[in-house]
Amino acid sequence: MQLNSDFTKRVLIRPEQYQFVASPLAGVSRMMLDRAGDEVARATSIVRYAAGSGYSRHTHDGGEEILVLDGVFSDEHGDYPAGSYLRNPPGSSHQPFSKDGCTLLVKLWQFAANDTQQLAIDTRQQPWRPGLVPGLSVLPLHEHDGVSTALVRWAPDTRFSRHTHVGGEEILVLEGVFCDENGRYPAGSWLRSPRYSQHTPFTGTEGALIYVKVGHLGAGLLGDKFIQSSQDTA
């Protein structure tokens, strides 16, 4: 499967476009945002665990990144409530489940081969840093070799200058409404902008909280081997 796997194209998926499909495990469904490969794939998905569902123990050969969006996600290492950010590096293994159900952002096979850091961050307990303009605050989550991941909070009526994302940018709007000259993106919107793309982001009266990753497109990550030609089909 090659779904939104031409990384030279801008992609926008709004929450009203979500279509969850069952995974091979009962009670676990996923909304595929981008995917290159079959069941083993370089993939970005919104994943839902029904109460009492889970996976058998497995190894993440290409690494796994998780942001818990709601509910409580668990494995044998602990319980991770909404706001938890997890990184399981290549070669790590676990047995995930959810007692009461949860929703996750999951990214698979998007690690550099030498990125071995394992993380479990409760973002609710972490200090935020001032951003580059008034009204902006940043919670860095991870950085490796030019690929950076963070939560960014935009106060109402905040504006940022026009800028270029040399290594591309990916955003999931978690709260409020995020905006740029191309449109307004309510909570649940997912945007991926290609390398060297430009925009002028801002917020209106609602403000916004976003997950943002930059520098990862064209970065030579493990899962790039699953990407086929420029053809992009569902």
Using CA atoms, how far residue 183 sits from 74, 200, 203, in Å, is 36, 11, 11
Does residue 112 sit in the same domain as residue 134? no
Does residue 17 sit in the same domain as residue 69? yes
Residue 221 domain-assigned (yes or no): no
Query: Of 50, 39, 89, 92, nearest to 73 (Cα)?
Result: 50
Q: Which of 98, 122, 146 represents a domain boundary (last residue)?
A: 122
**How many structural domains are present in the chain?**
2
pLDDT for res 56: 84
User: Is 104 in contact with 50 (CB distance < 8 Å)?
Assistant: no
Residue 46 domain-assigned (yes or no): yes
Residue 170 domain-assigned (yes or no): yes
Using CA atoms, how far residue 133 sits from 56, 130, 157, 178, 231, in Å, is 46, 8, 12, 16, 39
Does residue 155 sit in the same domain as residue 106? no
Does residue 102 sit in the same domain as residue 129? no
Does residue 7 sit in the same domain as residue 116? yes
- Provide the 10 A C-beta neighbour count for residue 17: 11
Measured in whole angstroms, how far is the alpha carbon of residue 143 from the centre of its chain?
14
Does residue 131 sit in the same domain as residue 201? yes
Does residue 143 sit in the same domain as residue 203? yes
Does residue 140 sit in the same domain as residue 101? no
pLDDT for res 233: 43
Does residue 104 sit in the same domain as residue 9? yes
pLDDT for res 228: 77
The domain containing residue 56 runs over which residues? 2-122
pLDDT for res 192: 98
Per-residue tens of pLDDT for the chain, all 234 residues:
999 999 999 999 999 999 999 998 899 999 999 999 998 999 999 999 999 999 889 999 999 999 999 999 999 999 999 999 999 999 999 999 999 999 999 999 999 999 999 999 999 999 999 999 999 999 999 999 999 999 999 999 999 999 999 999 999 999 999 999 999 999 999 999 999 999 999 999 999 999 999 999 999 999 999 997 434 444
pLDDT for res 117: 94
Residue 220 domain-assigned (yes or no): no
**C-alpha–C-alpha distance, residues 114 and 167, integer Å:** 19
Residue 134 domain-assigned (yes or no): yes
Residue 226 domain-assigned (yes or no): no
The 3-state secondary structure of the chain reads CEECCCCCCCEEECHHHCCCEECCCCCEEEEEEEEEECCCEEEEEEEEECCCEECCCEEECCCEEEEEEEEEEEECCEEEECCEEEEECCCEEECCEECCCEEEEEEECCCCCCCCCCEEEEHHHCCCEECCCCCEEEEEEEEECCEEEEEEEECCCCECCCEEECCCEEEEEEEEEEEECCEEEECCCEEEECCCEEECCECCCCCEEEEEEECCCCCCCHHHHHCCCCCCEC
Residue 25 domain-assigned (yes or no): yes
Does residue 103 sit in the same domain as residue 189? no
Residue 90 domain-assigned (yes or no): yes
Does residue 70 sit in the same domain as residue 13? yes
Q: Which of 89, 122, 155 represents a domain boundary (last residue)?
A: 122
Does residue 90 sit in the same domain as residue 18? yes
CATH number of residue 87's parent domain: 2.60.120.10
Q: Give the residue carrying structure tokens 């990407």.
A: 227
